[in-house]
Amino acid sequence: MTLQELYTKVEGDYEAAKRTLMMDSLIGKMIVRFPEDPNCGRMLEAGKTMDAAGLFEGAHALKGVAGSLGLTKLSAMAGEITEEFREGRPRSKSDDEVREKLEEVRRLYETTLEAIREYTAG
């Protein structure tokens, strides 16, 4: 699998990653490190108890990391959770709706990890 195929599979934006990281070699180096990032796990764990601060922090960090790597759909989904739990803003989603969104994020995150494994396998 090529980098471009990986980005297509995860509904990312390879060109955005290239604008940020400049070189294919750096994109490849950083994307294979993405599974080490703990923020999706932190966010999903916080979602079990609807821990607002934990959800915000995990989602905000995931949004940034994913955005920097051009994982635009994952970044946007994390951004929705970030805004839902931003301090001082009223909630617009029920806990059940948040859980549904978290499940969508989890599925896309797993798809992303799978694509990265395929990419590293050559």
pLDDT tens per residue, range 23-74: 888 999 999 999 999 999 999 999 999 999 999 999 999 999 999 999 999 9
Q: Sign of torsion, CA 32 38 40 41? A: positive
Distances in whole angstroms, Cα of residue 107 to Cα of each of 12, 92, 101: 15, 23, 10
Q: Which domains does the chain have, with CATH numbers?
A: 3-121 (1.20.120)
- Return all residues near 30 (Cβ < 8 A) that are at least 6 apart: 21, 68, 69
Q: What is the DSSP letter of 38?
A: -
Look at residue 122 and tell me whether its pLDDT is greater than 90: no
Q: Sign of torsion, CA 8 12 15 20? A: negative
Provide, rounded to the nearest whole percent, the portion of the chain with pLDDT above 90: 92
